[in-house]
Amino acid sequence: MATESNKPQDERKNAILQAAFTLFGQVGYARASMKDIAARAGVAQGLIGYHFGSKETLLVEVVREWMINRGMREAFAGLDLQASPQDILQQGLRHVSEFRKANPEWFTLLISLWSESVNNEKLAAELLDIYKEMRAGILLVIDRLELPLAQDEKQNLAALIQAVFDGLTLQSPLSLTEQPLSYEQVAQGIGWMLGGIRSTAEGSNASSQTRPNNASNKGD
């Protein structure tokens, strides 16, 4: 294992993040000690305090790294923006599905952050900021779908898609269903939701166009 003295500073910081991600994911936030994280990262324990200040800040930075930097940014980097809006959404869904499958620690990590933030206002605020960043990324994709929605309705849709992803993360390790939902099934469900939005909008437009005609007929 590499020692602290022969690791560049950025490499040591990344090693701490990776070690914390692994241990938080394997044993949970409460049971993962700073000593164990430092040992796994191959650094002195004091270096964790130097880079992150506290264990709770380290937890936030780990979630931000995997959720925003390695999750959202990698997803957008891999999108084919020349594809159809529906294909763009499916590409994003596939990335999220594959990312969470490749990182089983993600479940325990999210549970740790959610549970710790219940009675910790600072953590709750940090979690809200992370979710706002994620939602902004989802909104960028939704904007390309050309849905007949107002901006606040698009934000609600982004929150709903976000909740779907979180729900799938919670269900996958618990085997709540005989067969976990596949990427194709999730994409199909989102497709139904988008189809319903378009159908509702078309129905509203048709209704508004017929009302004046009905009113004029009554006058005759």
Whether residue 182 has pLDDT greater than 80: no
Task: With H, G, I as helix, E, B as strand and everything else as coil, classify residue 187.
Answer: helix
Fill in the amino acid letter for 165: F
Query: Residue 168: which of 188, 183, 153 has the closest Cα?
Result: 183
Provide the residue range defining the domain that includes 130.
56-205
Task: Determine the pLDDT at residue 13.
Answer: 94
Q: What is the mean pLDDT of residues 156-162?
A: 86
Residue 216 lies in a domain: no
Whether residue 165 has pLDDT greater than 90: no
One domain, residues 128 and 177: yes
Q: Judge contact between 168 and 181, C-beta under 8 A.
A: yes
140 Cβ contact partners less than 8 Å away, ≥ 6 residues apart:
76
One domain, residues 49 and 61: no
Rounded Cα gap, residues 92 and 79, in angstroms: 7
Rounded Cα gap, residues 37 and 41, in angstroms: 6
One domain, residues 39 and 138: no
One domain, residues 24 and 122: no
Mean per-residue pLDDT of the chain? 78
Q: Structure pTM?
A: 0.68
One domain, residues 201 and 124: yes
The tens digit of pLDDT for each residue in 76-130 reads: 777 777 777 667 777 777 777 777 777 778 777 888 888 888 888 888 898 889 8
Rounded Cα gap, residues 45 and 55, in angstroms: 11
Q: What is the CATH number of the domain that holds 1?
A: 1.10.10.60
Query: Residue 153: which of 207, 210, 206, 194 has the closest Cα?
Result: 194
Q: What is the CATH number of the domain that holds 64?
A: 1.10.357
The tens digit of pLDDT for each residue in 35-72 reads: 999 999 999 999 999 999 999 899 999 988 887 877 77
